[in-house]
Amino acid sequence: MISQRTIDIIFETARVEEVVGDFVVLKRAGSSMKGLSPFGNEKTPSFVVSPVKQIWKDFSSGKGGNVVTFLMEVEQFTYPEALRWLAKRYNIEIEEDAEASIEQKQEEKERENLFTLTEFAKKFFINQLHNSEEGNLIGLSYFRERGYTKEIIEKFELGYSPKQWDVFAEYALKNGYTKELLEESGLVNFKEDNKKFDKFRERVMFPIYSFSGRALGFGGRILQNNVKAPKYLNSPENMIYHKSKTLYGLFQAKQHITKKDHCFLVEGYTDVLSLYQAGVQNVVASSGTALTVEQIRLIKRLTENITVMYDGDSAGIKASFRGIDMILEQELNVKVLLLPEGEDPD
């Protein structure tokens, strides 16, 4: 749906050496620039960028191309995702194809509104965690007790949703977000008498990202011993969030998975955080859903090697073996790492 005119402007504006420089340390070598390959571990630079020709070549893997193909390789973007990433980086306004139907344009607008609201909510929860007394005493204390560093909390953009019934709802409405959009996102529930309450109130928040790094939804963990409330709560399905098609931590882990040519698959948010902090950064979680074919295919875009590492109880073992056949059907290599009984990756 991106117009050809916009695509032409993107290619005219984007500089391959600038974009590659966001991912690779480049040094001048004559009329070219050189760096270490982002697609593997090497000590001698074999990655070459030509600012004159606006192309790149990785002699260690044989890959090469232009600025768009670089993003498609290093970030595993689709072609439209790469174009939109470049448009955002260079402040280029995207012009939609005039041939798109009114329905398509309306749907795209609704999707963008959901993305905008989810990003708005993410920043609200982060601010509450770090800058409110309640967030500090309850949310930040919880994360610190779990041993998470400031760097991990910030990298995964963890947050906190306050105890007050409708503090986020009021804040969002005051900032111009509609009741209909708040309901669609699943962040706020409205009653018939027009009373409203925040769905994730009094929970620590784990943003869930798309492959390209856009916030899609949230997982929230309650910290009170309330038997009536589920321990974990996920955003409901909507136009942008489909939990069977997402993996927690994939955005942060994808480059590590590519470099290691291997992916650890765990069950929960905290499993990902603890492993990542411990240096095992090629790790993702199915989080809140049984493993699906769509999730396996996401991993397959990055590697053909998966190690399943679920909890060491009977439920975790059963879940591990349920996933083996599905992974093999997608023609991937799979191992199961069995932990001692009662232990989990976290």
pLDDT at residue 99, as a whole number: 65
Q: Do residues 269 and 226 make contact, with C-beta atoms less than 8 angstroms apart? A: no
Strand pairing of 305-308 and 333-336?
parallel
What confidence tens digit (pLDDT) does each residue in 39-52 have? Answer: 877 788 999 999 98
Alpha-carbon distance of 313 to 285, in angstroms, equals 17
pLDDT at residue 3, as a whole number: 86
Q: Which two tokens stand for residue 86?
A: 């470049």
Q: Determine the residue type at 47.
A: F
Instruction: Give the C-alpha distances (Å, rounded to integers) separating 6 from 14, 16, 84, 96, 103.
Output: 12, 17, 10, 8, 21
* Residue spans per domain, the chain: 4-89, 102-241, 250-336
- pTM assigned to the model: 0.80
Mean pLDDT of 246-268: 91
Alpha-carbon distance of 316 to 59, in angstroms, equals 43
Strand pairing of 215-222 and 263-266?
unpaired
CA atoms within 13 A on the CB side of 260: 17
pLDDT > 70? residue 101: no
Q: Which fold has domain 4-89?
A: DNA Primase; Chain A (3.90.580)
Q: Determine the residue type at 83.
A: L
pLDDT at residue 92, as a whole number: 93
pLDDT-based confidence at residue 100 (cuts at 50, 70, 90): low
Other C-beta atoms closer than 10 Å to the C-beta of 59 total 13
Name the residue with tokens 């902090």: 277
Which CATH number is associated with domain 250-336? 3.40.1360.10
Q: Which fold has domain 102-241?
A: DNA primase DNAg catalytic core, N-terminal domain (3.90.980)
Closest CA to 109 of 240, 245, 242: 240
DSSP 286: -
Alpha-carbon distance of 66 to 105, in angstroms, equals 29
Name the residue with tokens 């041993």: 147
pLDDT at residue 98, as a whole number: 64
Name the residue with tokens 């620590």: 204
What confidence tens digit (pLDDT) does each residue in 295-325 have? Answer: 998 888 788 999 999 988 888 888 888 889 8
pLDDT > 70? residue 246: yes
Mean pLDDT of the chain: 91
Closest CA to 269 of 256, 250, 254: 250
Burial class (CB in 10 A: 0-12, 13-18, 19+), 40: middle
pLDDT > 90? residue 18: yes
pLDDT at residue 154, as a whole number: 97
pLDDT at residue 227, as a whole number: 64
Mean pLDDT of 202-229: 89
Alpha-carbon distance of 288 to 208, in angstroms, equals 11
104 or 24, which is more confident = 24
Mean pLDDT of 140-150: 97
pLDDT-based confidence at residue 342 (cuts at 50, 70, 90): confident
DSSP 230: -
Instruction: Give the C-alpha distances (Å, rounded to integers) separating 40 from 21, 64, 131.
Output: 17, 14, 40
